[in-house]
Amino acid sequence: MPKTRKQTRTRTATRTKAATPPAVRERSRSAPTAASRGKLERVHIPAARPTAAERATLEELPEGKYVYCIIKSARPLRFGPLGIGVDPAEVHTVHYKDIAAVVSNTPMVVQDPTRDNVLAHQRVNETVMQQHTVIPMSFGTVFKTEDDIVELLRSAYDAFRDVLNKMLGKFEFGLKVLWDRDQIVREIEEEDEDIRRLKSEISSQRGSTYFARMQYGRLIDAALQARSERYVAEIFQALRDVSVASRSNKPIGDRMIMNAAFLVTREGEPDFDARVKDVGARYDKLTFKYTGPWPPYNFVNIRLKLERAH
């Protein structure tokens, strides 16, 4: 039975309700039936732990402004000590008209995408997302001054407003689907007479098996590809009417056959949840890693021309 863990709103495979915006919470997403081998997992990500070496190195550097996301707000906001830094930095807003950048002070360096730094970036976005629609910024977006951030908001004001309106009340969920390749190959061998015959010929080693091995490999690869595409198409189809949009990303590793993101409305989250569980129970030979809600990382694409500070 899959493990349900507290979401910190990061989705290593990871992470997150109606009148009030979504909250980071413990969610007991019930798994498929005990008889099913399909799995729904949410992965817990620990808080950042700065090292003594990082503290000593960074304390003397000049200070800049790290930008996590853009929100709609005309009043100053503070979110507490959540940000990137040797000690979690205080997170606050910088404004232009009715939009704001969520920022914290940070050493004026190119931030390394370490686990702690990435988690801090995600932690801020997920906290802000509890009360606001967010446009997440790329990791490592640093400005020299507050005036530089105001200029960014001014120059991209229309684009930011348009995206904030389109993303209002919508969140991203991730779904990775994996299989046991060897198990699927055994099933294919049992079901396909030609493949079964070739395997028998190779095993018996009657004469040269070179061409039999070549043909066997081609048939297995084609059958795996066809089955993978069928599974993925069926899963996308099953989730189509409970999501606003979807995006397919490149699978990672040999076991993963699907790496997808889904845009879901706040009101539609329970239906999406239920459908994912239903699909996971149906495909008992697949492992489902289901995470969210996240800011709409895969559905926002604002390209900014930023000049690197020297």
Cα torsion 140, 144, 62, 99: sign: negative
The mean pLDDT value for 122-147 works out to 93
Q: Work out the pLDDT band at 276, boundaries 50, 70, 90.
A: very high
Q: Residue 85: name the closest of 64, 109, 67, 106 by CA.
A: 106
pTM value? 0.74
Q: Six-digit token pair at 261? A: 């993101």
pLDDT tens sequence across 43-88: 333 344 546 665 666 666 778 899 999 999 999 999 999 998 778 8
3-class DSSP state of 106: strand
Q: Six-digit token pair at 98? A: 């009715």
The mean pLDDT value for 259-276 works out to 96
The mean pLDDT value for 163-182 works out to 94
Mean pLDDT of the chain: 80
- Residue 129 confidence (pLDDT): 94
Q: Six-digit token pair at 94? A: 């910088």
Residue boundaries of the structural domains of the chain: 52-168
Q: Distance between CA 290 and CA 271 in Å, rounded? A: 14
Tell which wins on pLDDT, 55 or 194.
Answer: 194
Q: Distance between CA 15 and CA 310 in Å, rounded? A: 36
Tell which wins on pLDDT, 48 or 110.
Answer: 110
- Angle in degrees, 0-180, between the axes of helices 157-167 and 146-155, rounded to the nearest 10: 70
Q: Work out the pLDDT band at 255, boundaries 50, 70, 90.
A: very high
Q: Residue 296: name the closest of 251, 250, 265, 253 by CA.
A: 265
Q: Is the pLDDT of residue 174 over 90?
A: yes
Q: Distance between CA 36 and CA 94 in Å, rounded? A: 50
Tell which wins on pLDDT, 236 or 254.
Answer: 236
- Residue 110 confidence (pLDDT): 79
3-class DSSP state of 267: coil
- Residue 107 confidence (pLDDT): 81
Q: Distance between CA 259 and CA 287 in Å, rounded? A: 12
Tell which wins on pLDDT, 54 or 279.
Answer: 279
